[in-house]
Amino acid sequence: MLEIELSKEKFYIPENWSEVPVKSLPKLLESVFVAQATPETYHQILRLTLGISDTTWGRFCYHYFRKDLPEDTRKQNAEILHNLLMMVGWMWTEEMTTRPFDTVKVGTEEWVLFEENLTSMSFGELSDAYIHLLAFTKQLVEGDERLHHLIATICRPRKEGDYTQDTHWNGDHRIPYNAHAVKEMSKKVALLPEGTKVAIMVYFAGSVKQLFEQYDLMETGVESVGEDDYPGQGLIKNQHLLAEKGIFGNLDQTKQANIHDVFLFLEEHRKDMKAQAENQKAE
């Protein structure tokens, strides 16, 4: 946290997403990623970042920019405001990889967000969620339908019973993923506040980027998960190719495999294929 002083009062500016208070996060993310870039929006971002009310922010603006101030003073104060905005410039460039909140209220149910670093996510769930993310950001289907599908895929009601004592528990607190239930569940997601939906999307996007950076998956001998002709092409191809080889079992079992296990195999396979190609060149 950066400590600053305004009107002889101390305030703290977060230096990453994990330092932003949870209560301010949804509205702040909405202002950064959804709202139109206007002076009013930037004021809103600074106000939420500092954790102060509309009334207090209005008082600051009056103190620093009232019309009876000398022009030079107002220009100096404008520079202070500009510098404040620069202090939060990381918001437009830094990925969110920590959970903005553990659960979200959807109607009368409590839905749980996925674990950080996608530790308990399956290959099938990751593939479907990634496709929804790309379809939404590219607006392949106009509107928020695919955003709602994304959230219904990665956020689900909590499991019932004493599941943590199960010796086969994989660390996932959510009910098992069911692709066929997503469309119906997404109707409930549509009722969530816009800022909450954006927070979940940004968290998933940052987590996926972190996942791809963890593994060297380009130019694999199986199928690259990099550039695609259509959203998720490489992931879908790998599901079928791995199932054909029986690495993780049949297609359904491959989809249920942990994403880190799958990516680790693909990375090691790439290394083996690269070494084999280098050996052939040396012969």
Domain ranges of the chain: 2-92, 103-282
Q: Interior CA angle at 61 toward 55 and 62, to 5°?
A: 90
Instruction: Answer yes or no: are the C-beta atoms of 1 and 15 closer than 8 Å.
Output: yes
Q: Whole-angstrom Cα distance, residue 131 to residue 6? A: 45
Q: Whole-angstrom Cα distance, residue 206 to residue 118? A: 11
What is the residue whose two structure tokens read 């139109």?
Answer: 36
Bridge pairing between strands 103-106 and 109-112: antiparallel
pLDDT band at 254 (very low <50, low <70, confident <90, very high): very high
pTM of the model: 0.77
Could you tell me which residues are beta bridge partners of residue 105? 110
Q: Whole-angstrom Cα distance, residue 101 to residue 192? A: 14
Can you tell me the mean pLDDT for 56-65? 83
Could you tell me which residues are beta bridge partners of residue 111? 104, 157
Structure tokens at 151: 């959230």
Instruction: Answer yes or no: are the C-beta atoms of 247 and 265 closer than 8 Å.
Output: yes
pLDDT exceeds 80 at position 116: yes
What is the residue whose two structure tokens read 């599901």?
Answer: 239
The listed range with the strongest mean pLDDT (88-102, 149-163, 225-239) is 149-163
Q: Whole-angstrom Cα distance, residue 215 to residue 119? A: 14
pLDDT exceeds 80 at position 222: no
pLDDT of residue 262: 95
Segments of 128-192 assigned E as strands: 156-157
Q: Whole-angstrom Cα distance, residue 42 to residue 12? A: 17
Q: Which amino acid is at 79?
A: E
- pLDDT by residue (tens digit) across 131-176? 999 888 888 888 899 999 999 999 999 999 999 999 999 999 999 9
Can you tell me the mean pLDDT for 166-193? 94
Could you tell me which residues are beta bridge partners of residue 112? 103, 156
Q: What is the residue-averaged pLDDT of the chain?
A: 88
Q: Which amino acid is at 195?
A: G
pLDDT of residue 192: 94
